[in-house]
Amino acid sequence: MTHAMVLGQRALREAWRTPEALLPTLFIPLFFLVVNVGQAGKIFPTGSTPFLEGQNYAAFQLPSSILLAASFGSAALYLVEDIEGGYFDKLRAAPVSRTAIVLGRLAAEAAKSVAITTAIVLLALPFGISIASGPIGFLLLILLTASWAVVFAGFMQLIALKTRSAAATNSGGLVFFPLLFLTPNFVPRDLLTRPMEIASTYNPVTYIMEGLRSLILEDLAWAPIGRGFAVVAVLGVLMVALNVRTIRRYD
C-alpha cells in the first residue's frame, strides 16, 4: 500500500509539472458545455421540458462534460514515456507488487479527476446549475466520475502496456468517441431513435451518465446511481486485473 502511495505521489508530481497536459482536460470539457448548451439550449427551455426537472439545459449537459474530462487517460502516455525511457524497467526490477505499480498511477488519476470534476462543477454553478441531490449527491457525483476516470485510464494503460507505443495509445484513446457519443448525451434515452437507443443501451457509459444526471437533476435516486456505480465497479476490477496480469507477463 505504501508503494502504491509513493508511486501515486510521483504520478501527481508528474502531472503537476506538466500543466500543458493538465489544462486542456479542464478547458476542453468546459468548451463543449458552452457550445452544446449554446446550440441546443433554446430547443429545451426549462419550463416546458419535463426531463430537465426544472433546471436549465446546461444541468442536463454537465454529465457529458465531466465524463469527457475524465476520459483523457493521460496517465497512459506518461506510462509509455516510462517504458520508452527505461524507468518502467527500473520499477519492475524493484520488489514492488505489480498491483501497486498499477494502482499507483490509477490512484493519481482518481485524485486528478476529483480536482478537475470539482473545478468544473464549481465553475458551472454560476450558470444556474444546482446539484439537486445535495452535498451527499455532490460527493457521489465526484466519486462516480473519478471511478470512471480510473476505468478509462486503466483501459488506456492496458493499450500502453501491450503496444508500448505513444501513437497506438493515442489512437486507443479515440474509443472515447463511441463511448461518449453513443449515449443519451443530448436527450434522455427514451427520446433517441431506435438504433441509437439500442447502441446506448449496450454502452456502459450510458449508465454512468444517467447516474450522474440523476444526481444533478433529482434528489437521491438509488436505482440509477446504483447502476452507475455497479458498472464502474465491474469495469474497474476488470481493468486492474488485466493491467496486473499484463505487467506480470511483460517481457
Partner 1 sequence: MARRTLAGMALAVEAEQLVKHYSGRGGAVEAVRGVDLTVEAGEVFGFLGPNGAGKSTTVRMLTTLMSITSGSARVAGIDVAADPDGARRKIGVALQEAGLDARQTGRELVILQARLFGSSRTQAAGRAQELLELVDLVEAADRRIKGYSGGMKRRLDLASALVHEPEVLFLDEPTTGLDPASRLTVWEELRRINGRGTTIFLTTQYLEEADQLCDRLAIIDDGLIVREGTPADLKTELRERRGLATEPTLDEVFLDVTGRTRERTAGEVQEVQG
Please give the residue ranges that form the binding site for partner 1 (CB under 8 A): 2-3, 6-7, 10, 13-14, 17-18, 82, 85-96, 249, 251
Whole-Å CA distances, 150 to 18, 69, 127, 143: 19, 12, 28, 11
Give whichever of 96 and 242 is closer to partner 1, judged by the CB atom: 96
Give whichever of 88 and 155 is closer to partner 1, judged by the CB atom: 88
Read off the C-alpha cell for 63: 454529465
Shortest gap between Cβ of 48 and partner 1 (angstroms)?
A: 52
Shortest gap between Cβ of 21 and partner 1 (angstroms)?
A: 11
204-217 vs 57-69: helix crossing angle, rounded to 10: 130
Please write down the long-range contacts of 9-14, taking CB distance under 8 Å and 24 or more positions apart: 9/108, 10/104, 11/75, 11/78, 11/104, 11/105, 11/107, 11/108, 11/109, 12/108, 12/111, 12/112, 14/78
Shortest gap between Cβ of 94 and partner 1 (angstroms)?
A: 4
CA–CA distance, 173 with 156 (Å, rounded to integer): 6
Burial of 2 (0-12, 13-18, 19+ CB in 10 A): exposed
Question: Which is nearest to 180 in space by CA: 94, 57, 91, 61?
Answer: 61
Question: Which is nearest to 85 in space by CA: 14, 8, 150?
Answer: 14
Shortest gap between Cβ of 249 and partner 1 (angstroms)?
A: 8
Shortest gap between Cβ of 92 and partner 1 (angstroms)?
A: 6
Report whether 114 contacts 149 (CB < 8 A). Answer: no
Total residue length of the chain: 251
Question: Which is nearest to 149 in space by CA: 200, 205, 214, 222?
Answer: 205
Shortest gap between Cβ of 234 and partner 1 (angstroms)?
A: 30
Shortest gap between Cβ of 82 and partner 1 (angstroms)?
A: 7
Contacts of 94 (CB under 8 A, 6+ apart): none
